[in-house]
Amino acid sequence: MTGVQTCALPIYAFGLVLFHAQTCDLVPFSYDEIKYTNQVEIHEHLHCPLAILAGWSFFFLFGWYWPWIGSVWICLFVARAASAGRPLVIYFLKMTTLNLKWDFPMYADGPLKHGGCYLDSAATTFKPYPVVDAVVKFYTEQTAAVSRSAYQLAETATEMYEMARSRAGDFFNAPKDSVCFTRNATDSINMVAEGIGFEEGDEVLISSQEHHSNILPWRSRVATDVFHVSKDGTFDLDDLSRRLHSRTRLLAITGASNVTGVRQPIEAVVELAHRQGVAVLVDGAQLAGHGPVDLGQVGCDFFVASGHKMLAPSGAGILIQTPSEACRKVRPVRLGGGVVEQVSDINHMLKRGSAAFEPGTPNVEGVLGLAAAMTYLDNVGLTAIERHISGLVQYARDELQKLDFIHLPFDSGPENVGIVSFQPQGSVDVGWVAQILSDRYDVAVRHGHHCAQPLFKRANIGPTLRASFHVYNDKADVDKMVSALRDIRVLLTR
């Protein structure tokens, strides 16, 4: 071994790790790619020993005889870290590990960086750096009112806002003109309820698993009926078929329960309803961002979602109205600037399409953050996310079922979007348990009826604790929650 090779040995060692990461696409060639690294799907490539061995061997053989290769490699890596605005050690760890937690400020730089455990993504999700960057960039470089002016800033903001609409259309496989930006899924449902124009004798059919946001907007305006679910948590299609009749104006259903996590057979439900001439609204709050949603395949008339549940900012929601007869009958009832072509002293002419449903200055920064979230999710891979979350919820159920003092009152169904609800066997307040898990163990779970009280009353079940997962969670989070429950077993069995 020559003196040069001996001195360069640390360079080779460091370079090998970097080359391993580069071989597996964990070290992209630009900062933009870094922020959208497809690390979940890459996880599978890392289990290929031949690929790893080939990458390491290639770098070792060439780097051993030409030390400058390792030196240049490290210089490039340091330059990338500097351009990304990250300390070298943090950047190195982020690029050479598979944990997507590093993509989220709450984990990388925030209160959970020392090992906190967040298991409440069904309520709201953390936001990755690309989403935060998109919002900050709008505030610092792009602020202007959209669709109002001809100066450059306003034209740029308008172009980006409309690009976000196209992005949403692509994400859900829906026409761009069918996408309307709202505050959240609840707001979207209320917009349909306000504008659909119910008549005497009309009825809305809902399931027994609905969130309050898909019950109250209808109940305050029209008669409602309820169909039931099967033992496995999926819709009872026979009961649904029996309750559809000539007075049913709309079928409003959840795509996945926020209590059980069971993913519903929406395509079959939509086909059944359409055969009887009934329009369908799908509450996709727990679907969007948890896996692929192809509205061209689903075929529903209305689809709603909340951005904050799919890694996007709060206050940015989606209402998609497909070009169906039912959607054409929905009238815009919230009027103001931005929704009209002409206004005179006695009448006005509304714009066509989604623009008629977006009065006033919209939440531009939230919408741009939503577009960034959809891009991030697409680049991680929606199928991979779905598989990752499904694996986590099954692992959580398996581990919880090993605890003889914990009861799982709901079935997980054939498909699950990453939610498991559970109860202590003893007569203990679940709110108190959630508080202990948070204060003593830094484990965040939800407690209560989860805005779905009718579901609990029909099942004769008391309030539950709820753990829900997203792309930044892993088995270590489940282990931490289960370990904490074991630790307080004596308190849960009183």
Token pair 């939509």 is found at 270
- The rounded Cα 90 to chain-centroid distance in angstroms is 26
Polymer length of the chain = 494
Query: Residue 181 region, left (φ>0) first, then alpha (ψ -120 to 50), else beta?
Result: beta
Residue 409 · residue 423 · CB < 8 Å = yes
CA-to-CA distance for 237 and 272, rounded, in angstroms?
Answer: 8
Nearest Cα to 367, choosing from 135, 132, 133?
Answer: 135
Give residues with Cβ within 8 angstroms of 344, minimum separation 6: none
Nearest Cα to 477, choosing from 86, 116, 63?
Answer: 116
Token pair 């689903």 is found at 298
Catalytic residue check, 180: no
Strands in 50-186 per DSSP E: 117-118, 179-182
Nearest Cα to 356, choosing from 343, 344, 341, 370?
Answer: 341
CA-to-CA distance for 317 and 312, rounded, in angstroms?
Answer: 9
Residue 452 · residue 212 · CB < 8 Å = yes
DSSP letters, 441-490, are H-EE-EEE-TT-HHHHHHHT---EEEEE--TT--HHHHHHHHHHHHHTHH
CA-to-CA distance for 186 and 338, rounded, in angstroms?
Answer: 22
In this structure, how many other beta carbons lie within 10 angstroms of the beta carbon of residue 242? 10
Q: Which two tokens stand for residue 244?
A: 């559809």
Amino acid at 106: M
Compute the C-alpha angle 249/254/257, nearest 5°: 150
Backbone angles phi, psi at 252, to 5 degrees: -115, 115
CA-to-CA distance for 170 and 174, rounded, in angstroms?
Answer: 6
Give residues with Cβ within 8 angstroms of 17, minimum separation 6: 96
In this structure, how many other beta carbons lie within 10 angstroms of the beta carbon of residue 108? 18
Strands 117-118 and 443-444: parallel
CA-to-CA distance for 262 and 393, rounded, in angstroms?
Answer: 11
Q: Which two tokens stand for residue 451?
A: 């805005």
Given 75, 117, 300, 451, the catalytic residue: 451
Show which residues are catalytic. 451
